[in-house]
Chains A and B, each alone.
Chain A
Amino acid sequence: MKARNNGIENREEKQFFLFISPWLLGFLIFTLYPMGYSIFLVFTDMDMTGSGQFVGLDNIVRAFTQDPLFYRSLLNTLYFVLVSVPASLLMSFLIALLLNQKIKGVGFFRTSFYIPYITSGVAVTLLWGWIFNAQFGFINYFLSLFGITGPNWLSDTKWAMPAIIIMGIWTIGNSIIITLAGLQDIPEALYESAEIDGASSLVKITQITLPLITPTLYFNLVMGIIGGFQIFMQPYILTEGGPSYSTYTYMMHIYNSGFKYNEMGYASTLAWLLFVVIMIITLIVNRTSRHWVYYDN
């Protein structure tokens, strides 16, 4: 009996590896190997054609001591993350609250809020360029109805990044859906009990909804931070990092270093430094989560 069970286990183990082998091969070839190679590149000055030599820690030293764009791009990206992530969390929470109502046509609204997430891309980014146009854009036209002269959004060093942030917040459909799922997971009985006790809507939100939604918010926060640090498409297409490097993000610096300036070694260094930064911030968030994330088990 034991031998027969071992035979079944062996067969199941082989089947397991057989079924995951396509993914495993893909992971090894297209993820793990390039990651390993890029660590090797950190210590070289290789270009795109693979020629170069070992330079030790020069790339890392260069990033911290000789490259003003390293700090500039990192600060720009931090600015984006520090504003867009909390704003996205707040907006997705509020909108999810609204979408959690049992009203007619809520499906239409849920779809409407999700569509920007799946339609975002180059074409939509270009459209946003038109919306932000200082002369003919919709936003400045709308502001002019209230007697406000809108700024020169994408050409003004003060307003270019806020414009990018606004574009980023527009695509929070995914966060909304995840938050909505979290809201629907909260037992109805808790609200009913609170209502019996005479709790107001505000009390219900702050004392029931918020504590129980914290795991979802924590997830959105971490994903938002990781995604925020990788912001690339919108500034690349709309402003190319300008004006005056005000929207020059860290990912753009990695891209330019690798593909424009032909410095693959340095670009790999920047990529791994970004990994470290994101890891540190995620660990900090994780550490603080024990104080504000409530798990009902």
Chain B
Amino acid sequence: MRKFSIILLIGILVTVITACSANSDQAEGNPSGNGEISGDLTVFGWGGGEELQSRKEATKIFKKLYPKVKVHEVWLPADNIDVKLDAALAAGNAGDVIMMSPDWKGLRSKWFEDLNPYIEKDQLDLEALLTEGVDGGYVDADGKREGMPTTASDFMIAYNKDIFDKAGLPYPTNAWTWDDFSATAKQVSSGEGANRVYGIVSHWILQSFAPFIYGGMPYNEDWSKQTLDDPNTLKGYQLFGDLVNAKAMPDDAAAKSMPMDQMFAAGRAAMYPLGVFEASTIAKNIGSNFQWGIVMPPKDPSGKTVNIKFQTGFAMNKDSKNKEAAWAYIKTVSLNKEVGDLYSKVNLPAAKESADSTFANLKIEGTDISMVDFVTGLQDAITFPWGGSIAKAGDLYEQTWQQVTVQGKSAEEAAKAYTSQIQSALDSIHQSK
């Protein structure tokens, strides 16, 4: 009994000392607003290749600005992020700052701190500081700001000038429409079988364009109702079905015969939807095979350019023990010009100053093609429509796309098959929110 009491007493003493020590650590890491920001900070994100390198360099810039903050970085391959991030959130060790994307559509928003108070405290005029179009989707329907943008990527249509010259067609211009695009794709196509030159590659992003190109939408603003059966939406899907039927776009078998970027680089397709993230890779693949240029994606009937954007930003974990340092990091990687200039090498930076100067002045590696159109194209771009919470419905939209472009069904037939299932999927998503 005596032995037990001594052990119990020692245990209590140790626990009390440890708790006090943790509290004092917290006090050091979270100053009440006075003094320099310090303490530990964990950054959790994804990336690979040059993009990852730029993110690591951005962290180094933050460390220079806030030398008393000890940053621990956790970078994962992009295809692993969902499972690992959810596991980390469940385990409570997801880090103070978490990379995120608005196309998650609120999937993990319950874990994120509302950043509005931090923006108000620092009196930031985000409209003046951020590249136009880069911030869409970071504020949810209830007004909560889930994150701050760091980079974005939109698309241009790359075109093979040699193929256009051979077909005797003028190059596309920024004023073109989707009807022009369709006609052009059919006119530049030539050859048969293995020698077929297609008008446009069968790129995975085209499925995202399809519902919007005639002013339609796949679902309404709060994604509670599907609008696949809207005539304008169906018309968009049908355009691509017609392109496959006319062999202006590869069918499924041809699309599987080689990667689409290689199909374009090898001169087997006249046009290619080129994302910022792949511009230099495509340029390297093309080399001196042919002359090429880029043009904005076509306009919808209202005159608005239809574009799709991918966005990456950072959110603050609401359970972060060092929110001041977390906010300092998020603000730095989002708005700091030096960081923006760094990101410009691989993507479109959120910092307006960098986007309008450094990025806009860049040319695609090895070419005379300016990157400035990507900045313009971002303004009206639509956030990638199928991610995060919408994934279940997104799979059904993909089946619709396959019915039209692979099975050769009409868009109306495909919509009949999937409209009710998509609505059920959207209903279940909202029920579980």
Contact = CB atoms under 8 A, between A and B. Distances in A.
A66 to B, nearest CB: 7
A263 B432 CA distance: 9
B110 interface: yes
B237 to A, nearest CB: 15
Interface in B88-144: 89-90, 107-108, 110-111
B419 interface: no
Given A135-B194, A243-B407, A256-B395, A50 B257 contact: no
Nearest to B427: A66
Contacts of A244: 399, 402-403, 407
A243 B89 contact: no
B182 interface: no
Contacts of B253: 133-135, 152, 155
Given A152-B252, A155-B252, A244-B407, A135 B402 contact: no
Interface string B337-373: 0000000000000000000000000000000000000
Interface of B: 82-83, 86-87, 89-90, 107-108, 110-111, 193-194, 251-254, 256-257, 389, 391-392, 395, 399, 402-403, 406-407, 421, 424, 428, 432
A242 interface: yes
A133 B256 contact: yes
Nearest to B253: A134
Nearest to A45: B432
A261 interface: yes
A260 B90 CA distance: 16
Most buried by B among A49, A50, A136, A244: A49
Contact of A133 (B82, B257, B428): B257
B110 A51 contact: yes
Contacts of B399: 242, 244-245
A243 B87 CA distance: 32
A18 interface: no
A157 interface: yes
A contact residues, range: 20 to 34
Give chain A's interface secondary structure class: loop
Contact of B256 (A47, A154, A262, A263): A154
B224 to A, nearest CB: 17
B319 to A, nearest CB: 12
Contact of A50 (B90, B402, B421): B90
A106 B96 CA distance: 63
B83 A155 contact: no
A42 to B, nearest CB: 16
B244 to A, nearest CB: 11
Nearest to A140: B253
Interface of A: 45, 47-51, 66, 68, 129, 133-136, 152, 154-155, 157, 242-245, 256, 259-263
B90 A49 contact: yes
14 contacts: A48-B87, A49-B89, A129-B256, A133-B253, A133-B256, A135-B253, A155-B252, A155-B253, A242-B402, A244-B399, A244-B407, A259-B83, A260-B395, A261-B392
Contacts of B392: 256, 260-261
Given A49-B111, A135-B194, A152-B253, A243 B86 contact: no
Nearest to A264: B86
Contacts of A134: 253
Nearest to A261: B392
Contacts of A135: 193-194, 253-254, 257
Contacts of B257: 133, 135-136
Nearest to B389: A262
A133 B402 CA distance: 17
Nearest to B394: A260
A152 B251 CA distance: 10
B83 A48 contact: yes
Contacts of A242: 399, 402, 406
A256 B395 CA distance: 10
B391 A261 contact: yes
A50 B88 CA distance: 11
B395 A155 contact: no
Contact of A262 (B86, B193, B403): B86
